[in-house]
Every structure is written in C-alpha cells, then in structure tokens.
Structure 1
Amino acid sequence: MLPQDARQAGATPDLWSGAGFAAAVAILLAEAAWLVAGLPGAALASDLGAVAVAGWSTVACVGAARRHPAQLRRFWTLLAATMCLAALGRAVWTAQRLGDDSLPHTPLIGALFTAGIVTGTAALLCSVTARSAVGRARAVLDGVIVGLSLIPIGWVLVFRDVAAADLADPVRTLGLLYPMLDLAQLTILVAVAGTVRPRWRPLTVIGASLVTRAVADAAYVSLVARGDYAPGHPIDVCWPLSYLLVGVATRYAPPAPDETDETAEAPLPPWWRVALPYLPVGGAIVAVHLARRPDGQTPQLVLLTVMALLGVLAARQGLAANENLRLVARLRILAYTDQLTGLPNRLTFNRRLRRALRAGAPVSVLLLDLDGFKQVNDRFGHGTGDALLTTIAGRMRRAVGDDGTVARLGGDEFAVLVDDRPQVRPEHLAERLLTALQPAEEDEEDGVGGHTTASIGIAEYGPQHASHTDLLRDADIAMYAAKAAGKSAYRTCTAELREAAVTRAELIDDLRRAVDERQLHLEFQPIVDLASGEVRSAEALVRWRHPRLGLLPPARFLPLAEETGLIVPIDRWVIHEACRAAATWRDRAPDATVAVNIAAAHLRRPDLIATVSEATAGAGLAPRALTLELTESALIEGSDTVLERLRQLRELGIHIAIDDFGTGYSSLSYLHHIPATELKIDRSFVARLGADARAYATVEMVTQLAGAFDLSVIAEGVETEGQHAAVTAIGCVHGQGWRYGRPTGLADLRAALLPAAPA
C-alpha cells in the first residue's frame, strides 16, 4: 500500500514503481530467510540481494526527482547518486570477493562507499529543511565532532583486546571509520531536520535507514575485529534494508508550500539539539586514557583523531562566536529601530534626546500625530495603514533631511529631534513637514488607498524643563493644541498652553469621579408638534455640577469624555436616568418619548443593546418610547457589525434618529442601510432661513428626502417666529429650539407635558 500522504497529495507513483517496490520487498524477505536458514550460497544471495535493492532505490529516487518540485530535485538526485554508488560498490565487492574468496577491502571499494556517504550528506544539506549556509556548515561540523568523538570510544570497545599484529592490518583499523561516518551523517540529519514542525516524513524514513546502516556497520566491524564474520552472515540483511527504506522515502508527497518557505522564522532548537554534538566528547576524553597500551603509548589513530577533534571543536566554537556576534548586531537593530519604517524607535529617540540635553546645545522637539489614521485602518485595513506609515516615514525623512532626527515613537506618532542646529527654526521644519504630508497623487499610484494629515506640537528646551520627559510633555501639549485648532497645523508650547493642559488634566480627573459622586444631572428640551404646538418628545441633555467650577455645559466636558473613553459610562448613566424620567410622564402623556444622544464610541460597543434593554426594562418603559440620537459622521463610519446592532435595536422597538443631518459627509447611499426613523435637520440650516434662499432649499430638499425614506423630520434650533413659520411651511412635522422651550428640569417639563387640571 502507498503511504497515506502520497495518496492524499496526488503524488501516487506509477504502476511500474509500485511493482518495483513489491519486487524489492520480496527480494529482501527472500534474502533474510536465506541467510537466517544458512542455505548454501548465502554470501552470493546476500550480495545479489543488496545490489538489486540498491538498484531499485536508485530508480525510485530518479523518479522522485522527476515528480517533485524544483527545490527538491537536487535532494532526490543526490540520493539517487548515493544509491547508485551503493549498488556499484556492492557489485565490485561481489566481483572481487568471488575472485579470491576474501573480504575485498580495496581502495576502489572504499572510495565508492565513501563517495556514497559524501553524496548522501550533500543530499541532507540540500533538503527543504536546511535553511541557511551557516546552518549547513554548523550541521556538518556537528556531525564531524560526533564521528571523531566516537572513534576513540569505538577503539576501546572493539579493538582494545585485539592483538597489535592484527591492528596493523588496515582492513581492521580503517573499517572502524564506517560506523563513525554513519553516526556523523545521522547527526547531520538531526541537525538539519530536528527543529522543523511538522517534520517532513521522508527525512524520518531516511533517518531510520541511517540507523539501520549504522547498526549493520558497527556489528560488521565488531565481528571482523574478532574474526567472527563470514560473508552471508544474517547481519548482511541490514544493508539492503537500509536501501529499501530510502526507496520507501520516495513514495511520500512533497511538503506543503508553507513548509518550504525560507522566509519563515525557524523555531528555537530544543536543549538536546544544542548539546548533541558535545555529548560524546566527554566519552572520547575518557576513551583516550583507556586506549593506552601497557607500554603507555596511545595508538596513533587515536592521537590523530584527538588532534582533528580539537581542530573541529575550535572551528565549531568559532562559528558559534560569529553567530553570536551577528545575533547581537541583529538584536541591537531590533532594539533601536522601528521594524516597519526603518526609523529610530522611541528608545533611540529618548537616548539621543538625553545625550543632546547633556551636551547643553539648543534642543527642540517636534511631536507629530497623524489625523484620522484610525479611520484609514478601520476602512482599508491594517495592511493599508502600515503602507501609509511607511510612505509617511519616507516623506518625513526627505522633508527633514540633515536638519533633524526623525523617529517613530509608536502607532501613528512620530517625532523629530533638532539639536545643535540653531540656524534651523523648528517652525520652519514643521511647515516643511505639513507640506510634505499633504495628500498627493502618488498615494494612489503607490497603492496606499488613503491619506491623512498631521498635527505637530513643538517644544524648545528651557529652564522649565527638568528632564527630557518634561520636554516631551510640552511637545505633547502643543500637539493637542494643534489638533484642537483644526488639525493639519502646528503649535508651539507656551506658558498659557501648559497652564491650560494642567487645567484640562485636573478636569479629566474630576470627570472620572463625576458619575460615582452623582455630580451629573439631566435637563430636557421639548420637541413639539409644529401643527398643534403640543410637546411630543424631549431630548435629555446632560449637565455637570462641578463642585468648584459650578454648572458646566456639555461642550465643556463631553469632548474630554470622548477623548478619554469616559463617554461610555456617562452615556450609560444618561440612558438609565432618561428612561426613569420618561417613565414618570407616561401615565399622563403616553405618546411622549425621550431622546438620548449616543457617542460613536458607545455605538461600537457590543454591550449597547444590553444597556438599552436593562434601562427600559428597569424603568418599566416601553422600548418605543426611547429614541437614540446618533451623529451622521458616527453612522457613516459604522461597520457592518454596527449596522447589525442598529437593526437589532430597531427590532426591539427603539427609534433611531440621525442628528445634525447635513453636517457630516452627506452620502445619501448610507440612508439605504441605516435603519433610521427620524432626521434632525442641523440648526445651522435653520438659522439661515429667511436670509439665505439656499438654506431654505436645503431644508426643503431634506424634508422631501425624509418623506421618500419614510422618516419623520425634526427641525433643530428654531428660535424665531420667522424660522417657525418657514419650517412649518416647508412641511417639517416637529421642531426643537428656544422658540418652544429652553432645556429645563424634569418638573418643568412635566408641567409642559401634562394638561392643566379642570377648574
């Protein structure tokens, strides 16, 4: 039967190869039975069987070389040469043995067998698991170390009790090398394939072949040394068995492409693999002492072996030292260089900054953060984001030139160090960087797929900076000021910015405690029916009673909450409080609903549905009485997961309103996908009604568009009678603004909702 790997991979050998395999197995079994039974002509049967099986393995390796991909052809070709040399060597052995009826250890036969070992070793070094030239050299040295170490050990175990006259026979002494060469070759195979997972099956089978041959050679040398070997001995069956195993290895499929990827990172070798070449060295040292003759002399072969072993060990250690130096250099690069862009990383930048500060020269730091980079990652994927970062790094290098050191601190944050160059003003450098980072046509040509601008903060070293961290902090403060100024800009840190940053940090710390300490409260602005003037809904607006600063409007703290992630717990609190408030007026105004603004960060959270469900259920409020208001930009940036979450909310009965409609990207296509129920026309359009004909046309167009999508319309920011008349004439159903009521407490809203008691 064929190995399963071959059948599954479609690499089934042809019928002739299958018949040859069966014939080789039959020959081996017949030879084994012949030798064990001690039948006449056992020596000739042994020789002919070995030649036949080696010949079949040669043909099988040639066939494998033709079937397998190009990177494996040299491997199988060298194995075919190895098997051919084995067959030729056994054929010459047989011819010479039949001539004088002795063991023909002639130079020709020795050369053929040695050449086979060389080609077999070369095949192992050409296998798909041998990854580098250095690794191949290390494997060869490891094999030589093992082979040389075993010579003194074998001498003691095999030849110690053999007479000196017999040892003068080169047949006996040189024959000792065969098992040592086998074990050296086996060591090379382990070195080449020992760390590969999953292991390529043919190498395992070839390893079994080498073990079989090593056992046969060791037994042969031991028997010859004692004078107990005769051709046709049962041990002879091990050699054709080793040839057969090589042929079996050809019947496996080639490795998968990912197993032959030379760029893949090799796993760390196990401890035994590192120690393998050195384990027999200790035994060799002991064997050298035991090999001494009674006269105190050490056999010449043992001495030569020890000298060669020392030389190979020195070469192996030299290679290891060279690898360690290369590894240290590689680790240094990894430690101090950003792997994506090739720029210095944060560690290198901080070291150079500290060095510049110690030198006392004028020092400036430009901290650069990309605007909208997260949207690039979310929309196009991290591969595109990485390509964009690489492009930006190249542009920054060219823009800065020799006037500073560009570094990537991490993510989408870069920095430029300007030191000992007083002629270069950091503001001029910032302008060059902003110009270089403007979107260009080459972005699309390079396949970047997106672009982004940058905000730059500048800090110059002064007496207020106690360390490099203070300088970086000031650059960070200026960078956030640049973002607040509209992005794609730069700002230099000043005392005022520094003070504002301290105030901002204190406000963020206070905001973290605001929810737990019940400092937040809600006000409600009515939403009225324009035809009747009745209050149909109310928008819940959060306020912060700061213990020191007094009542703070949303614009003062909600942007900070969104930047820091505190918006999510604030949103949760608002949803729960708004539902409880709405429940208090449902008994008298059952159709009046409550609207709550939801931040984009909360919209992306998977627990939003659970939060809304818990809030409505806990307050005893019907889900249809709650409206979630989401900004147009947050909805457009939403992923498929977000859209599915909105659909689930609509299935619960929750209403979805698109807030500030017309101020986002205004892509009409997204209205087909978002399960909205309401559109809220932004106050900027309503404010221009009566004075700007285009604003009137815009509001009218949005109202008609909403009707086409079966959406109700709410006009925001209605403050005057003229605006009220205009939105009513256009056909808006609901209105919101100071014309109908300012944000107020729950009690005042209830009074507006509830009808007056009868007299």
Structure 2
Amino acid sequence: MDNTNTMLLALGTDAPVPEFLTDWLRQEAPHLNLSLRSGMLDAFVPIPDGHMVVITVPHGDPAQRDRVQEVTVHTPTLLIGFSDERPFYPDACVWIDADHLTPHTLRHGLSELEACVAGQLRPLLARQNWMLQCRSLLERTKDLHLQLISCRWRPAASGDSAEIRLDTQQSFEHQLRACAPADALIGKLLDDQFVIVSQDQHHLSKKWLKSHEDDNSFLWTSFLSAPVALHSYDDLGEALQHCVREIERSRMMYSRIGARSLTPDESLVVKDLIRALRNQEFYLEFQPQFDSHTGCMVGAEALLRWLHPELGIVPPTAFIRDAEMAGLIRTLGNWALRETLATWKLLSDRDISIRMAVNVSFPEVADPDYADKVLDLLEEMGVPAASLELELTETAMMLDASVSLHNLNRLKLAGVHIVLDDFGTGFSSLSHLNDLPITGIKLDRAFVTPLSREDEDSAQRHIVATMLDLSKRLKLETTAEGIEDQACLEVIHALGCDRIQGYFYAEPMSVNSLIDRACVQETVLVDYASGQQSLF
C-alpha cells in the first residue's frame, strides 16, 4: 500500500497529545511514508478519508467517548489509554495501554495500524462487542462454526521484562488476526483466550496457527479446539463450554497432568466414577479448624470421600486424577461446594457461624464461568461470601493464569476467602505471594508436623517462622495443618500462626458430629479421645 499521501493525525481529547508522544510519532512517521499533524479531536471531526488517527483517551466524558467511538468505526485508529477505558472502544483497530507506552510498543502499534489499513488484519473485538456482533451475524446466517484459541506464554516471555511479555502478546495477536479465515469474527475473551466464528470450517480444522512446537522462535504455545457448529445464539454458551473442556484437557496433557494413557485398571476406575456419581456414593467429612489464640472453632475443611460398594472408603488421592482425566472433576467439585454450603446452612440454623473451606482443582478454576457459578450458588443458598473459603494449590492458580486469576480476583472482591494450600512445597510460592489474589496461606503438614521433634535453632523451625512472618507482613491469614501433638501446637502457637488444624484435636468427622462439636461453646480445646486439655 502506498501511504505517500496519507496523513497521520495525533489527536487529544480532554488534553493535548503529550509532547513526548508527538516527538515519538514525528520520528516514526517518515518510516511509514506518513505526514503528521497534531491537535484536538473536536477540531478534526469528521476525519477526512485517507487519514490514520492516533488518539489519547484518558477521560470519562460519555459524550467524548461517543465521538471517539464514532471515529473508530469509520477511520483506522490507534487508541492510547488506560485499561479500564478499553471496553468503551471495541471498534478500535489497535489499542496500547498507557501504562505500557514506550517507543517500542508505539512502533509495533503503528505497524499493526498500517496492516489494518492494508486490509491484512481483521479487528480484534472486546468480549461484549464480539457477543453483540456474533448475535447479529447468526441472525443473518446459520452456517457458522466456532473455535476457541488459548495461548500459554513460554517461560522466556514471562520473565522480568514486561516489554518482552507485551511484545510477545502483541505478536501472537497479530499472527492470530493475520492467519484467521478471511470472514472470521475474532473476539478477545481474556488476555490469552480468543474466540472465532467463521463459515470456513475447513480452514479452522487445519493447523492454521503456528506456535513454539512449529518454530522455537515463537514464545507461545497455542491450543485450538475443534470447530463446533453454531446454529443460533442460544447455542453459544454450550459451544464455548464444550471448547473450554476440550482445550483444558489438551493443556493438562501438555503440562503432564494427564500426559499418559489410562491403563485398563484406570479405565475401570473412570467407569466406576460415573456409576458412583449416579448412585450418590460420594460424601463429605469435615475437619474443624481452630483459632490458635482462643481455641474456638472458627472453620471446617470439607474433605471428599467415596464409599465404594466393594472397596470400602476410597480417599481422594486415589481417584481425583482419574476424575480430572474423565472430565468429571467439575461435576464433583460443584457437588462438594453445594454440600459444603448446605452444611453451613445447618450450622447457621443453630446460630453457629464458622467458615467452610472446600478444595478447588485446576479444571474448575480454569472454567471462564467459575466465578459466576460460585457467586450464583452463594446467592441461591443464602450463604455470605465471607463464610466460604476456597483452597487451591499454586499449580491450580497458575497453570492457566489468565483465566484462573480473573476468577479468583472476582471472588476475592466479592468477599470469598482464597487460601494458597500446601504452602512451601512449590518452588515459586514466595515469588508469587504478592501477585496472587489470596487472603491466606495454609502451611503444608510436611513443615508443621515435624516441629515437635526439632530444637529451637533447627532449620525447619526457622523456615516456618520466616513463612509466618512474611505472611503477617503481607496481611495474609495463616493456617497450619498437621498438628498432631501438644509439642507441635505449642511451637506453632509461639510462632504466631492464626489457625490450626490436625488430628490432635479433631479428626475428619461427619456432618452430625461437626454440628455436635460446634455446639460446644467452650473456649478451651479438649482432646475428645483422652480428655487432655490444651495450652488454651
């Protein structure tokens, strides 16, 4: 495309374009054979044909937003603004977050804008606008197919350099838009999750999007679902869920969570799981949690059990992996959450208010609708968000970080407690503590239980003390599991842990036993097996 006579306009909205930005554009314009003019948006509307526009949009005036949006509909536009402004401008060809504006990102953005002008790239629509356009498209044609694309950034793209990560993300989006079918309607659901509808099923069925496996110069691995027929807008939700489950399984296999074929014996276990769900063979036990300062019961962790008709009680370690492989973990998780909230209601009816904790797996929290499902269930059952605690491992939070963290942030903002389980067993837990949307940590029993056998100057005790001190500085609540004797309790109490859990005072118990235990309003913990009192 010959841009010799094309004018690049740098336009401000509430304030003039910053001088440094004008200087950067002036340096880049000659390389693109563009002439540059700058000024205020209102002075140039309507924008003449044959112009390209860069607009700065850090404002909150609805009328001004409408004017900018009108420009983006008719004119190739690069917008620079803060992330909370992005949803207001779904038709913009290119967007640069003001927090990441550098000469490098601006140069990349201008090349993207040039490609859009040349017709080489389809627009990348924000979620809501994609939904609206998809509905309109389905009203005009029924022969459409939907495909979900998920991206996992390679380690080299997620290191210390935010510029590398942003450049990688923009490069991925550029390739996605350049290689998608010509008629594709492309939406960006999350930072690393995209959706396409197109009539070109043949194109979508091919390996059309390259990733690290095809060329190690790419800093991403892409996962594509098989195209799904989309006949009406009412089919959209189910189609997306189908694609999410398919990609989830692919990512688990890639991450070696499920990177093996099921043995014949394991296949029988999967069939058993399906039968067990149908026959309601699963049940919950609850292990109380106590305030380490007062001795009062303050919570209980729900623990999943399977009463097998032939094998007896089967622990979750023996079947959770198989449930994930069989795609049943969401069903199990939803059942466990509902039963846990029902137990809270039983306690609440007796004027007992404790927090109920339930474990969450990676496939559950990686579901884009997980936060909505949890919040809807809390509302349906009349349980305050602050009465629920979700326990997740670091792997569950970080394996599909964009989706998982989006869900967890929403739940945390709603008041749900988010606890990092098995803390201390992951190599990167400390580095992630300040970034994860958590309210507390749970010290793994591997650190806690041996404390009674260690001397005061042991490395083990110093490690636990450091973890507790760091958590306190970050205003995170701490829970220690694996308290199995008086000496261990005394050490954990002295080190300042907030809550305790372990066999010394309470083994996992039935719902009725939990209610009976919670009804005991003494502030002194008692070892119900021996009658021994604690230091409280």
The TM-score normalised by the length of structure 2 is: 0.50
Q: Which has the higher helix share?
A: 1
The TM-score normalised by the length of structure 1 is: 0.36
